[in-house]
Amino acid sequence: MTALQRREQLIAIGRSLFAAKGFEAVSVEEIAATAKVSKPIVYEHFGGKEGLYAVVVDREMQTLTESVMETLSRPAQGSRQIVENAAMAFLTYIEEHTDGFQVVVRDRPTTDPSGSFNSLLGDVSIRVEDLLVTAFKRHKIPAKGVPYYAQMLVGLMVFTGQYWATHRKLGKEQLASYIVNLAWNGLSRIEAKPKLRYVGDGGGQREQRGRRSGESSPAAKSTDDTSPQSDNVPTDGAPQTDTPPSDADTAR
């Protein structure tokens, strides 16, 4: 086995062990024993398990970053197309690099200050913010909540992906359709001035008093879930459609 082949073997073994056990639980002895080499060989190539771990993480982050950011940066995409492509790109990475994904989302060594996965999520969130700001302005929705909506969308995809990595009962395309269904239909019904219906205004207490007196309170009427307009009209009175903006609109 050449030196390059040995290095690649150790990287593959390290990736598998770090994914299964986490950084702290893996020792140089275990890496060497799995590769059927002596400990000095591991030190010769990487200087220790920290060096091996850094190489594994760097490779995985490069692959994941290129996949996701390339998807978000494609020109002339409609909004729904962006959501679909991003979901498929992320799930494809998990499908093809399951061990690598487990490494980057698991506990990191206390000596590693890079926080590579968190840095990537920050970059993705910023890109999503840019896309949302454009869409919000087009539809006259205040943009002050955009950073939070961006974090929600990224979190939806990441935590779903983490669960799917170890519970592979759905196919990639089906899971992507679930993600798009929740994210897209949620965005299509977004309110310009959202408010809580049952918390903080005493509405529940007023409703109970109204029922005891045989009448419905104004607050209860205004927040009645059976009202045909309760979920279709934002709180500022502007009509709201159940249909998301067309891809032709969002691509402009």
The range of the structural domain enclosing residue 20 comes to 3-188
- Residue 247 within any structural domain of the chain: no
Residue 204 lies in a domain: no
- Distance, in Å, from the CA atom of 30 to the CA atom of 4, rounded to the nearest integer, reads 21
Nearest to 125 by CA among 173, 176, 69: 69
> pTM higher than 0.85 for the full model?
no
In a domain, 203, yes or no: no
If DSSP codes are grouped into helix, strand and coil, which group holds residue 125? helix
Residues of the chain by 3-state class (helix, strand, coil), percent to 5: 65, 0, 35
Q: Cα(224)–Cα(218) distance, rounded to whole angstroms?
A: 10
Q: Does any domain span residue 239?
A: no
Q: Is residue 217 situated within a structural domain?
A: no
| 105: CATH | 1.10.357.10
What domain count does the chain have? 1
**Nearest residue to 245 via CA among 133, 138, 127:** 138
Q: What's the sign of the alpha-carbon dihedral 7, 10, 15, 18?
A: negative
pLDDT string in tens for the chain (252-residue length): 899 999 999 999 999 999 999 899 999 999 999 999 999 999 999 999 999 999 998 888 888 888 888 887 777 677 788 888 889 999 999 999 999 998 888 766 655 545 567 777 888 888 888 888 888 888 788 888 899 988 998 899 889 998 999 899 999 999 999 999 988 887 777 778 888 888 865 555 555 555 555 544 444 443 334 333 333 333 343 444 444 444 444 444
122 within some domain: yes
By three-state DSSP, how is residue 38 classified?
Answer: coil
Residue type, 224: D
Length of the chain: 252
